[in-house]
Amino acid sequence: MDNIGAMRERIRLATRQVTRDSLGGEEETWSLSNSIWAKVEYLTTGSDERFSSDRKVSLTAANFTIRNRSVSIGQQIEYRGDRYNIESILPQHANAYLLIETRKVEPQ
């Protein structure tokens, strides 16, 4: 990353946690990290639209660049009230930064 000033957006990492309730059922919760500075790049000038089960679904892909830290697939990124599933994590610039490729989570 040539320009640290490009990292001007605030994101948070969400980590899935599963606990058991009193009846033995699983309960899913997400814990959020402190805010992290990031560079955000949308991959298209809008959203791709696809049909899934006879329903039009929009797909938004975005890349987030952050300083190197512990991040894993299975986590999500929260950005401006939306959630993004992490699809891949690529080290950048001698492992000083991470390029995180994501897709927006659509409401159910």
The predicted structure's pLDDT at residue 56: 60
pLDDT of 108 over the 60 cut:
yes
Dump pLDDT digits (tens) for 26-69.
Answer: 989 999 999 999 999 998 644 455 555 556 666 789 999 999 99
Q: Find, among 92, 105, 93, 96, the residue nearest to 14 by Cα.
A: 105
Contact assessment for residue 86 and residue 73, using Cβ atoms and an 8 Å cutoff: yes
Give percent of the chain above pLDDT 70: 82
DSSP state of 5: G
Contact assessment for residue 79 and residue 9, using Cβ atoms and an 8 Å cutoff: yes
